[in-house]
Structures are given as structure tokens and as C-alpha cells.
Amino acid sequence: MITADYIVLGVLVVFVLIGALVGFGKGLKFFTSGIFGVIISVFVCYLIFGLVLSWDFVAELLGKFSDWLREQGSVGTFFADIYIDRVVLAVILFIIVQIVRIIIVKILKSVFEINNILVKVINRILGAVFFAAVFAAGLLIVFQIFAWIGGDTAANFLSNLDGSALLLDQLFLKNPLNSIFS
């Protein structure tokens, strides 16, 4: 095992212990509120925007909105030409996703905070698993940032991961985030 393996395992254990102490309900609330919640909502909107745009009734509404804009004169035509209708759709979609996210998080937090011994045990176990998943996502993001930097920095980083018992070098090379951000 190399130093990076020990660091990753140490940080993972700390995350799992914090997750077990905090629990799933409070952990979910923390990681889905504030800037994290906005980032999650933007990412979800990014993933579903094309799907929503392909729905027939949405395409018809956007077409009518664009036609209405063109009827308003040169300013309206300008806004129609820059596809302001899609921007409006993205804003509406973001607001809907934000509301749905808040409702789901409140429901899940309330369910996992029930004062029952079985629910408390499940809350702690799921908290540990959730925080381990958050750590894994963070690790992939760090790897992706080094891949974006590229050049000597990425090569040196990869050489430091060479021979990892946890196969961190392979994870760096085959990072699943590459397919999302490419």
C-alpha cells in the first residue's frame, strides 16, 4: 500500500464515523441545503432539460412563446433569436426541481428522525453509507480536477498513485466523471 491508500482509507473512516454519528436524515439535510442544494438542482436540471424539451406540449408552448415574441417587434425578435424561451424553460424547471428537492428532503429527514430504535439504527447505518458515498463523489471530483489541469500536474499526480492497492491509479484513469464532463 502506498501513502495515498492510507490517506484515502483514513479519510473514508472519518467520513463513515461522522455519517454514523450524524445519521442519514441530518446528513441529507446538510448536503442538500445551501449551495450544495443549488448545485444538485442545477445538475438535475442539466440532466433532464433535454427530456423535458422533447415533450410535445412543451415544444408547442415554447413555439407559441417564440411566435408571440416575434410579434412584439425587433426587441421581441432579438429575444426569440437568442432562444429566451429555453432560458425561461430552464428557470421554471430549476424552480420546480428546487421545490421537489426541498419536499423530498423534508419528508426523508422526518422519516429517518422518528424516535424508534429500529429507525435510529437504520438512520445511523444509512448515514455511514451516505457519507461514504459523499466521500467517493468528492474523490472522483478531485480526480476530475487533476485530469482537467492535465499536463505535468496530472502526470505527476498519476505517478504518485501508481501501485495503489486500492487501484486509485486505475480509478484516476477510468474516472466515471470523464463521460459526464466530456
**What is the residue type of 21?**
L
* pTM assigned to the model: 0.75
Within a 10 A sphere around the Cβ of 5, how many other Cβ atoms?
16
pLDDT in tens, 15-27: 999 999 999 999 9
C-alpha cell at 23: 445519521
Q: Residue for cell digits 495515498?
A: 4
Encode pLDDT of 10-67 as tens digits.
999 999 999 999 999 999 999 888 898 999 999 899 989 988 988 899 989 999 999 9
Annotate 101-139 with b (16+ C-beta within 10 A) or e (fewer). Answer: beeebeebbeebeeeeeeeeebbbebbbebbeebbeeeb
